[in-house]
Amino acid sequence: MRSKRAGPARFADEESQPTHMKGTTGGPRLPLLRQLVGDRHGLGAAARSKRSAELKPRTAIADRVVDSICPYCAVGCGQKVYVKDEKVTQIEGDEASPISRGHLCPKGSASLQLVTSPSRETKVKYRRSYGTEWEELPLERAMDMIADRLIAVRGETWQHEDENGDVVNRTLGFAHLGGATLDNEENYLIKKFFSAMGAVQIENQARI
């Protein structure tokens, strides 16, 4: 007689299972019955189906793993990006990161969706003055437009001296506002470039 604490009955293969048990990893097909015959708390075999027993984590079937940094904020937590068939299939925390030691906050944990979401913007959107619709521009064209406007505004608004006659060599015609995802190197280059261009207001969203 089977003990109350014994595990569910096992069968050599699916063919030898009674009809009501087919498709399971062993024992009755109904989870409740599996629970009754040996997994009283439903935390072990009773909770498993044949399908769930055969599932493998996406991290185990990836073709390769790429080390990366979370793009959301300047904390810079380490990430491991799992790739299969040249598509990103999972993003996990990198336990080797001295910053985050394998952890990601809810935003970082959801960064797979940032990469794979069908609503992700991949093209430059431009709305011209008085326009009511967004237009798509090639990136090269958008970059040229920004550069042309920066140079033009700088020329139009350049101040060699202020109203007191003091040399200032500046422009108040444009400013730069950085975002929280910028890292040290990017901030260094932005500050250096815009200072050289004569901008005075160079800020970051974190201080607003």
Residue 76 C-alpha from the chain's centroid: 12
Strands 167-171, 158-161: pairing kind:
antiparallel
# residues near ligand SF4 by CB under 6 A: 11
Q: Which is nearer to ligand SF4, 72 or 174 (CB)?
A: 72
Whether the CB-CB separation of 99 and 90 falls below 8 Å is answered with no
Is residue 115 involved in binding ligand SF4 (CB under 6 A)?
no
State how far the Cα of 33 lies from the Cα of 37, in Å rounded to an integer.
Answer: 6
- Tokens representing 127 are 């709305």
Q: Which is nearer to ligand SF4, 115 or 146 (CB)?
A: 115
Contacting ligand SF4 (CB under 6 A), which of 105, 153, 168, 182? 105
Q: Which is nearer to ligand SF4, 75 or 145 (CB)?
A: 75
Q: Which of residues 77-96 bind ligand SF4 (CB under 6 A)?
A: 77
Residue 61 C-alpha from the chain's centroid: 20
Is residue 108 involved in binding ligand SF4 (CB under 6 A)?
yes
Residues belonging to the chain: 208
Is residue 75 involved in binding ligand SF4 (CB under 6 A)?
yes
Contacting ligand SF4 (CB under 6 A), which of 37, 81, 104, 199? 104
Q: Which is nearer to ligand SF4, 89 or 109 (CB)?
A: 109
Q: Which is nearer to ligand SF4, 54 or 185 (CB)?
A: 185
Q: Residue 78's closest CA among 58, 62, 100, 61?
A: 100
Closest residue to bound ligand SF4 by CB: 108
Residue 167 C-alpha from the chain's centroid: 47
- Tokens representing 115 are 């990469």
Residues that bind ligand SF4 (CB under 6 A): 70, 72-73, 75-77, 100, 104-105, 107-108
